[in-house]
Chain A
Amino acid sequence: MPKITFFPLGNADSCRIDLDSGKKLLFDFGNMRNPNDKYDLRIDLAAALLEDLRAARRDYFDVFALTHLDDDHYKGASEFFWLEHDPAYQGEGRVKIKEFWVPAAVILEDTDKEEAKILQAEARHRAILGEGIRIFSRPEKLRQWLKDHGSVLYDDDDFVIDAGHLVPCFDKVEDGVEFFVHSPFAVASEGKPEDRNEGSLVFQAVFRVDGVDTRVMLTADTICGNLAAIVDITNANKYRHGGVDRLGWDVFKLPHHCSYRSLSSVKGEEITEPLPQIKELFEVHGSDRSIIVSPSKPIPDDADDDADDQPPHRQAANYYESVRDNKNGKFIVTMQHPTKVRPEPLVIVIDRFGATPQETITRGTVAVTTHAAPRAG
């Protein structure tokens, strides 16, 4: 059965998709854990991913998608991955990337952050070679850049993909999954091509198991205006989607760590009132018993915490919880899953019953036999 794993990383993103074919896809790599703090409850992402790869006898990901160039989505990636552009990032134990998925902005934008530069260099290297990369959206500036650098990709529709299309290398029937590209879309890319969050990757992944489709919305740090635009554009192009609800979801990975800004520009006193398009996205397009995943720190308990402007915002969480309650759904915060005291990766298995979060109690003998034994002296 296909499986999606969300890692407890604080306010950072990383999720892995495992397909029945054995293919592994990684969306973002925000390894925020402080290795010098033994009380840091965030998972060591690199270690967790390596353990899984070892068990699967692999040294690569079929896809690594970097939704945008913010460090909570790439931190540590330059130490983890084998990068083609520079032998300095090649060596034993590094994990290879078969296909690097990036929005056009990753190629085009100016960045002064060290690690962002390294990843940008990798994306540019692959883009020029025309191999091992897929670029999402094609603003005129990208076409020019590809042309200037002699890349064969400048008019290639398979490797440079616009919003409103399916990623060509995955098929719902053969691979058990398809990816519909929602963002970056033309308006945002043409208008402000370098705006990182606006130009970030948003997919609807549709899994098919035993003839049953399960929809997973994978967003980046999309802010409310862009999310609303996605709803407007998708509704306007409904006829092109062959009866498939491209806004439909059974699992929704929240943008921007449960920030109110992804719902509205106004936080609200107790609850954030979303823009009408976003209200529609959650309340109309979400299924019964659907699951909302917040890749974030624990939700603050009370108003005393409101002074901190950083997400997660309890007002936004209150909105998502109201959605959950109406749908007999589930609202899962990665750093609270299954408990705040001992967060663990959230594993969602997809089968003919839809998406089922795995909720086995891993305490007691189970814990003792799956973790290293405490040493006695």
Chain B
Amino acid sequence: MPGESVVDVELTVSKAQELARTLRLIDLPYARLAECRRISADIETVVFDVDVQLGQHLANDIRRTERIAAVFRGEDTYYPETLALRHGFPHVPHLNIHREQYPRSLCLYDRPYSEIRLHWTALAYVERIREWLALTARGELHAEDQPLEQLLFGVPSYLVIPADTFDDVDSGRPTHLFVYPGPIGEEGIRAELCFAYRSVPGVGEPASPLKFIATTFRGAPQYHGIMHWQPGNLKELHTFLQSAGIDLVGELRIRLRAWERDPRMVATKLILLVALPKTRVSGGDVESVETWAFATVSTVGETGHDIGIWDLHHAVPGTLLEADLSKDGSETGLVMLNPVYALGRERAARLNGVEGRLDRKITAVGLGALGSQVFDNLARAGYGTWTLVDGDMFLPHNPTRHALHGDAVGFSKVGPLAYLANETIEGKIVSKHLVADVLDPGEAADQLQEAYADTEILLDMSASVPVARYLARDVESPARRASLYLSPSGEDLVLLVEDQDRRMQLDALEMQYYRALLLDPALQHHLNRAEARVRYGLACRDVTAIIPQDLVALHAAIGSRGLRTALASAGATSTIWRVNTSDLTVSKTQLPIHPVVEQQLGDWRVYADTWLLEKVMTRRREKLPRETGGVLIGTFDTQRQIIYVVDVLFSPPDSDEWPTVYVRGCQDLAAEIARVKTITAGALGYVGEWHSHPPGHGPGASTTDEEAIAMLAAEMAYEGLPALMLIAGHNQEHAWYLGRTL
């Protein structure tokens, strides 16, 4: 050990003092102080023996007692270096890679030292060393997929390589990458970073000159790591790589020759990128791939000279007819780099814990406050292959609640969003965009049609009922539809997702959702418009709601996760999440979904569902032998000639209910309808009448019924709407009647 021997009380570095003091405690088992050394004024070493908990059968040759040296530095900014002093200490996982092989340096922690330092005690440190040794003896330390901590000397330089750099293994051809410096010179950033590209970037890409040419090697699968210390030159690296079946120098002799006549290549420096597949057990499947990168200190020209393929005359190669095999690369110094993969879709998904299909085609309509942030969440997680559709320009008030920032003002919303996503996730394009209003696409109509036809999910985040209805009913597409929007107050989030086979379509889900608002007292204020609105322009519609960004962000988080979950299953779903803004708890209401019952009546189509019919039948039975009735609640879609029937109101108290006749009264009816309109923000109202027939009678219309329909039709004609009547008879039978005055 270097340094002068000192007695423990003379130590000055506080952690060294603490360790020595602890090791001298009389009844401390399993660890004993051997000696203390001072290397310099603020570097001190404590040498001690630890006992290792061992069984009879070991995976690695760890001994019952190991001698350890802990090197502490006064400034205490990095882990104390922990060295196993026994010569022959095995090469095992989780050693720090040094320039020298011995003594082995244990990599004890997988967390940054700043965190370790918070709770550091000498005893915990000794225990961590003992645990490291005991688990290493059992071969269980590398249980998780934890990479080796590489202690790089000097400032480590990052090399960003494409996610698929080593994908093209089977071809056996090396990949060449062009390496350019990344942004430099920002104060406080100590590391350097270079980007490696598959091809020479086009115009407008990095302005700086080519810095390195990188060339790849892939080794045979290894059980043990083979990089026992940091190779200092080409020859040392060659020796290591031999055990992985790579003839480094021989291969370089071939590869470099190809560049001999290219002065730009000869003048550039070389990076050797090496992938070493690792198996957990000897001969097992490859579980991880270690990637190493080494930059040559010298140019390709000089390196070629050093491996004996050419002579240099004024830096110009002159080929040797036969390679000079005595030149082994030992003159070519190497600097170790820290290779990091660019963020590909798979890794983004893995880091997000996203499993299952990632490349679902999603066409999203409406990239406003909620839409942009939902997209941002999902795209960052590598989820979805997107087409973004929105016709809006990004205006100065938008950044307050949007995934884009102020620098996007004046652009479309979708263009910058797609650009950022594609810049974030490397590889195949993540997002396309279309600047278009879906209800009035103009020149974009054809492109929109293509997008609809080629998508799996049609996601409405437009916060517009007409758009949702249009996407549900009027768009030619095999896609499953979904709708995601906030309530006007911003406190509730609604997610409606069709089933895979589109048996429950978006408009039907919307209607049943309105009904839920009527039935659940807790949801009565769901659609109440927030009072405060703010004008941002001169046009009548240039107003925007006051909704805090924190609520939008919270709902975007829930919405993106909720959507992902819903799409992973085949069924339809209809969910409301509500934030309690006083204590910020979120509650979820799963809305019931009932099968749709539909019928064409002349020009009109009636949509109801089993829940509604069951309610009518139950009421009939309750009132037998008398007839009963009431009004139908729902809405007319005059554009598409659809009547949605969602609920019924029961007989007003002033009605006449006789065994053979029913006359509906009107007491409180207007107030009831007004309540329905208020709760549903006008989405639902009166759409027709219903009544029941007595025992033994089917739902056929009697003469009286026909007269009633005719009278009703005459009245409805003022609004240009048809008269709808539902009759419930015996045997659970029902019939719809439509009256129209032409």
A289 touching B127, Cβ below 8 Å: no
Inter-chain contact A289/B27, CB cutoff 8 Å: no
Contacts of A363 in B (CB 8 A): 25, 27-28, 123
Inter-subunit contact A288/B28 (CB<8 Å)? no
A357 proximity list for chain B (CB < 8 A): 53
At the interface, yes or no: A87 with Cβ under 8 Å from chain B? no
Contact of B27 among A328, A339, A354 (CB under 8 A): A339
Q: Does A262 contact B (CB under 8 A)?
A: no
B26 CB to closest chain A CB (Å) equals 6
Bitwise, B61-89 to A at CB < 8 A (1) or not (0) is 00110000000000000000000000000
Contact between A356 and B54, CB atoms less than 8 A apart: yes
Interface flag for B544 (CB, 8 Å): no
Bound-complex Cα distance A352 to B137 (A): 13
Specify which chain A residues have a CB less than 8 angstroms from the CB of B121 in the assembled complex: 364
- Given that A338-B30, A342-B27, A364-B121 are known contacts, is A359 also in contact with B53, CB under 8 Å in the complex? yes
In the assembled complex, the Cα of A338 lies from the Cα of B51 at a distance in Å of 11
Which A residues, 140 to 197, have Cβ-Cβ distances below 8 Å to chain B? none
Kindly state whether residue B530 has any CB partner on chain A within 8 Å.
no
Contact B138 A353 (CB under 8 A): yes
Q: Give every chain B residue within 8 A of A36 (Cβ-Cβ).
A: none
Within B91-136, the residues touching A (CB, 8 Å) are 121, 123, 126-127, 130
B343 near A: Cβ within 8 Å? Answer: no
A221 within 8 A of B: no
A339 B64 Cβ-Cβ under 8 A = no
Q: Is the CB of B55 within 8 A of A289?
A: yes
| Bound-complex Cα distance A356 to B57 (A) | 10
> Of B31, B56, B63, B64, which one neighbours A353 at CB under 8 angstroms?
B56
Partner of B29, one of A214, A351, A355, A361: A361
B16-33, CB < 8 A from A: 25-31
Nearest chain B residue, comparing its CB with the CB of A337: B29
Give the contacts of A327-359 with B (CB-CB under 8 A).
Answer: 328-330, 337-342, 351-359
**B29 CB → nearest A CB, Å:** 3
Cβ of B57 and Cβ of A352 under 8 Å apart? yes
A212 touches B29 (CB 8 A): no
Say whether A287 faces chain B, with CB atoms less than 8 Å apart.
yes
The answer to the question of B58 belonging to the interface, with a C-beta cut-off of 8 Å to chain A, is yes
Minimum distance in angstroms from A306 CB to a CB of chain B: 26
Say yes or no: A361 contacts B56, CB within 8 Å.
no
The size class of the interface chain B forms with chain A is 20 to 34
Q: Closest residue to A362 on the B side, CB-wise? A: B29
Whether A355 contacts B63 in the complex (CB less than 8 A), given A361-B123, A361-B127, comes out as no
A200 at the interface (CB under 8 A from B): no
A370 beta carbon closer than 8 Å to chain B: no
Tell me, rounded to whole Å, the shortest Cβ–Cβ distance linking A325 to chain B. 10
By a CB distance below 8 angstroms, the chain B residues around A21 are none
Chain B minimum-CB-distance residue to A290 = B56
A360 sits at the interface (CB 8 A): yes
Of residues 236 through 266 on chain A, the ones whose CB sits less than 8 Å from some CB of chain B are 250
Interface centre among B57, B58, B63, B130 (most CB of A within 10 A): B57
Docked CA distance A102–B29 (Å)? 37
- Contact in complex: B27, A361 (CB < 8 Å): no
Contacts of A355 in B (CB 8 A): 55-56
Find the residue from B54, B56, B64, B138 having the highest chain A CB count within 10 A: B56
- A212–B25 Cα gap in the complex (Å)? 39
Q: Could you tell me the distance in whole angstroms from the C-beta of B28 to the nearest C-beta in chain A? A: 6
The answer to whether A356 touches B28, judged by C-beta atoms less than 8 angstroms apart, is no
Please report the C-alpha to C-alpha distance between residue A173 and residue B27 in the assembled complex, in whole angstroms.
41
> Please, how many angstroms separate the alpha-carbon atoms of A338 and B25 in the complex?
13
Tell me how far the C-beta of A176 lies from the nearest C-beta in chain B, rounded to whole angstroms.
Answer: 16
- Least CB distance from A220 to B in Å reads 24
| Residues of A that sit less than 8 Å from B by CB | 212, 214, 250, 287-290, 328-330, 337-342, 351-361, 363-364
Known contacts A353-B57, A359-B52; 17 additional CB pairs below 8 A are A214-B56, A250-B56, A289-B54, A289-B56, A328-B63, A338-B29, A341-B26, A353-B55, A354-B56, A355-B55, A355-B56, A356-B53, A356-B55, A359-B29, A361-B29, A361-B127, A361-B130
Which 9 pairs of residues, A with B, have the shortest CB-CB distance?
A338-B29, A354-B56, A354-B55, A353-B55, A341-B27, A356-B55, A359-B53, A339-B27, A289-B56
12 contacts between A and B (CB under 8 A): A289-B55, A328-B64, A338-B29, A338-B30, A353-B55, A354-B55, A354-B57, A355-B55, A356-B54, A359-B51, A359-B130, A364-B121
